[in-house]
Homo-oligomer: A and B are copies of this chain.
Amino acid sequence: MQRFPEYLLAGYRSFMAGRYTAERDRYVELADHGQQPHTLLIACCDSRAAPEIIFNSSPGELFVVRNVANLIPPYAPDGSHHATSAAIEYAIQVLKVANVVIMGHGRCGGIQAALSPSFTPLSDGDFIGDWMGLLKPAAEQIQTSSLLTAGERQTALERVSIRNSVNNLRSFPFVREREKAGEVHIHGAWFDISSGELWVMDGDSGDFIRPQV
């Protein structure tokens, strides 16, 4: 029989001996009474930007969606299978989270693919091409900014994409209502993998700035 990867089991042993043992009561409590996360966090799949690590969060705090490039598609109640929209609906309507954070990060492979002038489909299905197509108009505009360096275009699209997702999130009627009622707050964030810097989006201007931490 195929073995479960040993390095994952080794990590699990560390978890059980360490964190689980220390937080056992919390886990039992969370199992018995259910989760009440304060925040829906939409992040990228990237292995270098795990939200629970960056925010040093405890079990039960963050309800986390992770897709390539942390995208939120626009509201589209068309009966097909929408992974991200389903998670948003559950977080807002059932868990009633107080915050939604869309967190992008530097050196994002999905954003890089979206900006690549010579992008070739990664498989016959071209799933990345279709998925990053959500950013197509933005990517096309950024690509014409010939005065920006490649790195600047990448960072620019990473941040444009977060603002785009914020707008798409507001296209969901139940999000808009809850935000209007002051029951949910929407935030953008951007993480620099190399320096560890966290930048947060100014809700008024859309600028990304370094919070006083």
List A residues at the B interface (Cβ < 8 Å).
1-2, 4-5, 7-9, 11-16, 18-20, 24, 27-28, 30-32, 34-35, 37-39, 45-50, 52-57, 59-68, 71, 73, 75-77, 79-91, 93-94, 99, 101, 106-107, 109-110, 113, 122-128, 130-134, 138, 141-142, 144-152, 156, 159-160, 163, 172-174, 185, 187, 189, 192-196, 198, 200, 202-207, 210-211, 213
Set B48, B85, B148: member contacting A31, Cβ < 8 A: B48
Query: With A128-B90, A200-B4 in contact, do A27 and B9 touch (Cβ < 8 Å)?
Result: no
Residues of chain B with a CB closer than 8 A to A13's CB? 213
- The answer to whether B134 and A81 have CB atoms under 8 Å apart is yes
Report the Cα distance A138→B59, complex, angstroms.
Answer: 30
19 extra interface residue pairs, beta carbon distance < 8 Å, beyond A5-B101, A8-B39, A47-B63:
A4-B189, A4-B200, A5-B99, A8-B99, A13-B213, A16-B196, A31-B194, A45-B63, A45-B64, A59-B193, A65-B66, A67-B67, A79-B126, A81-B133, A82-B130, A89-B125, A142-B145, A147-B156, A152-B159
